């Protein structure tokens, strides 16, 4: 028989213990560390960065398109080059690639055909950016990328094996690691191959069967030993024209690609638009609302124009800078200058630009320094009479070059 008094005492003890536990728990909750801030992706892929534009374009897409393409060639062109009033869209589409529209159209048409696309040009001309835009618009996935280097192997283009899993279970499709290109084939997506000519010839030629027969054989397996490309699959490769002669493409591989050459932008108006677009994007990513001083951008553009003229008129390699003097290099130089001017208030914009430009373009010593010194005295010295900003820029450039000695 249960003693009610004893039961009451037991209940009171339990209740008291429960309250004590609750209090302790509440105290712990109060003193627990704050929730960590959500991580920010340093550089989101195009399909995330411009995801709202892609969704909008897909929702209004009534144009003819190849099978398995996310948006049609017509709207892909608008996605890359931006919309205008004649397109009559309810949402403005931002210009992302500043270049010849014909080149973009040729690239799009190539990807709708049976051939791969090879974007070729000088370093910093936007080949990789265009490739990413094309892949994002067609597949809504631009991250299936093989980065070509001297160490790239055939396994990285086709497939490899999870050794631990193979030892435990044997070779099968479950223990196989597909390459980005194989994943693109299986799902009818665009695969990207960066810096193709950096790879050795035997590695390059492993693409021949992929681009012509559209399948990858897996001799290690008895069943399911062939992966066939699905509709929508294609390859975008990039190559630097400066790598010509390093690892030349075989004639067989060349026949599998359509070549589209991306030239260096020499039109100052277009170049200015590209630089402003990219710098604004880069500054926003860093959480900095930094406006580009108009005089600083003018000095940068004029300096590069003059440097290109000098490079074209030079008779030997030793009389020109090693740099390709591309738009991408201008963006990098201006970004560094703006950051230096932002973080170190005692460094004026002209000083920051001079240091960034000379430091960024002087790579071979003493050859590049000699070229830059001659240029500074022959060209920039004349421009210092234009304004106080040019005068400061000239003076700071001289000081920077002296620091190399």
**In whole angstroms, what is the distance from residue 121 CA to residue 263 CA?**
6
The Cα–Cα gap between 292 and 339 comes to: 11
398: phi then psi, degrees, rounded to nearest 5 = -60, -45
286 and 217 in a single domain? The answer is no
Residues 114 and 217 in one domain: yes
Examine the domain organization and report whether 57 and 184 are in the same domain. Answer: yes
Share of the chain above pLDDT 90, in %: 68
Q: The domain containing residue 274 runs over which residues?
A: 268-402
CA distance 108 to 69: 11
Say if residue 22's pLDDT is above 90: no
Does some domain include residue 120?
yes
Residue 109 and residue 230 share a domain: yes
Q: Is residue 29 part of a domain?
A: no
341-346: average pLDDT? 89
For residue 40, the tally of other CB atoms under 10 A from its CB is 8
Mean pLDDT computed over every residue of the chain: 88
Highest mean pLDDT among 72-76, 217-221, 380-384: 72-76
Q: Name the domain count of the chain.
A: 2
Q: DSSP string covering 155-189, please?
A: HHHSEEE-HHHHHHH-SSTTTEEE-HHHHHHHHT-
- Judged by average pLDDT, the poorest of 87-101, 238-252, 334-348, 387-401 is 238-252
Please tell me whether residues 221 and 299 are part of one structural domain: no
Each residue of 184-201: pLDDT tens digit?
999 999 999 999 999 999
Which of 201, 231, 262 is the last residue before a domain boundary?
Answer: 262
Is 80 exceeded by the pLDDT of residue 14? no
Q: Look at residue 229 and tell me if it is in a domain.
A: yes
199, 282: one domain: no
- On whether both 315 and 258 belong to a single domain, the answer is no
Read off the CATH number of the domain in which 83 is found: 3.40.50.300
Beta 145-147 vs 226-228: how paired, if at all? unpaired
Question: In the predicted model, is pLDDT for residue 12 greater than 60?
Answer: no
Average pLDDT of the segment spanning 302-309: 93
Q: Which residues contact 214 (CB under 8 A, 6 or more apart)?
A: 185, 228, 229, 233
Say if 273 falls within a structural domain: yes
Rg (C-alpha) for the chain, rounded Å, is 29
**According to the model, what pLDDT value does residue 192 have?**
98
Listed in sequence order, the residues at least 6 apart from 59 whose beta carbon sits closer than 8 Å to its beta carbon are none
Whether residue 35 lies inside any domain: the answer is no
**Residue the block writes with tokens 């710098």:** 279
Last residue of a domain, one of 230, 262, 294: 262
Q: What is the pLDDT of residue 405?
A: 66
> Domain for residue 153, yes or no?
yes
Burial category of 79 from C-beta neighbours within 10 Å (exposed 0-12, middle 13-18, buried 19 and up): buried
The answer to whether residue 138 is domain-embedded is yes
Same domain as 253, residue 104: yes
Chosen domain end from 231, 262, 293: 262
């Amino acid at each position: 028989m249960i003693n009610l008094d004893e039961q009451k005492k037991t209940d009171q003890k339990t209740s008291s213990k429960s309250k004590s536990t609750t209090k302790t728990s509440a105290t712990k909750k109060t003193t627990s560390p704050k929730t960590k801030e959500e991580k920010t992706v340093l550089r989101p892929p195009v399909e995330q960065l411009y995801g709202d534009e892609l969704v909008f374009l897909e929702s209004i897409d009534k144009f003819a398109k190849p099978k398995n393409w996310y948006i049609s060639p017509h709207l892909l062109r608008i996605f890359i080059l931006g919309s205008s009033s004649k397109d009559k869209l309810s949402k403005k589409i931002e210009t992302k690639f500043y270049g010849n529209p014909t080149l973009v159209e040729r690239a799009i048409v190539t990807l709708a055909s049976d051939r791969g696309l090879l974007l070729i040009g000088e370093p910093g001309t936007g080949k990789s950016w265009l490739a990413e835009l094309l892949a994002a618009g067609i597949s809504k996935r631009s991250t299936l990328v093989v980065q070509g280097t001297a160490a790239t192997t055939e396994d990285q283009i086709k497939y490899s094996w999870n050794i631990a899993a193979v030892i435990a279970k044997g070779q099968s499709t479950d223990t196989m690691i597909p390459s980005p290109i194989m994943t693109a084939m299986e799902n009818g997506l665009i695969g990207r191959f960066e810096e193709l000519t950096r790879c050795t010839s035997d590695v390059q030629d492993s693409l021949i069967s992929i681009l012509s027969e559209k399948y990858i054989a897996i001799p290690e397996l008895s069943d399911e030993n062939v992966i066939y490309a699905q509709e929508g699959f294609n390859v975008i490769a990039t190559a630097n024209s400066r790598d010509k002669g390093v690892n030349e493409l075989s004639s067989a591989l060349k026949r599998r690609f359509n070549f589209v050459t991306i030239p260096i932008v020499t039109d100052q108006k277009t170049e200015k638009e590209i630089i402003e677009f990219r710098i604004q994007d880069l500054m926003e990513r860093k959480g900095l609302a930094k406006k580009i001083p108009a005089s600083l951008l003018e000095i940068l553009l004029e300096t590069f124009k003059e440097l290109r003229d000098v490079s074209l008129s030079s008779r030997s390699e030793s009389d020109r800078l090693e740099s390709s003097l591309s738009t991408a290099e201008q963006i990098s130089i201006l970004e560094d200058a703006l950051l230096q001017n932002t973080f170190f208030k005692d460094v004026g914009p002209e000083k920051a630009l001079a240091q960034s430009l000379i430091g960024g373009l002087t790579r071979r010593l003493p050859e590049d320094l000699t070229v830059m010194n001659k240029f500074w005295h022959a060209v920039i010295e004349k421009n210092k009479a234009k304004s106080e900003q040019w005068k400061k820029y000239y003076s700071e450039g001289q000081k920077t070059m002296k620091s190399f000695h």
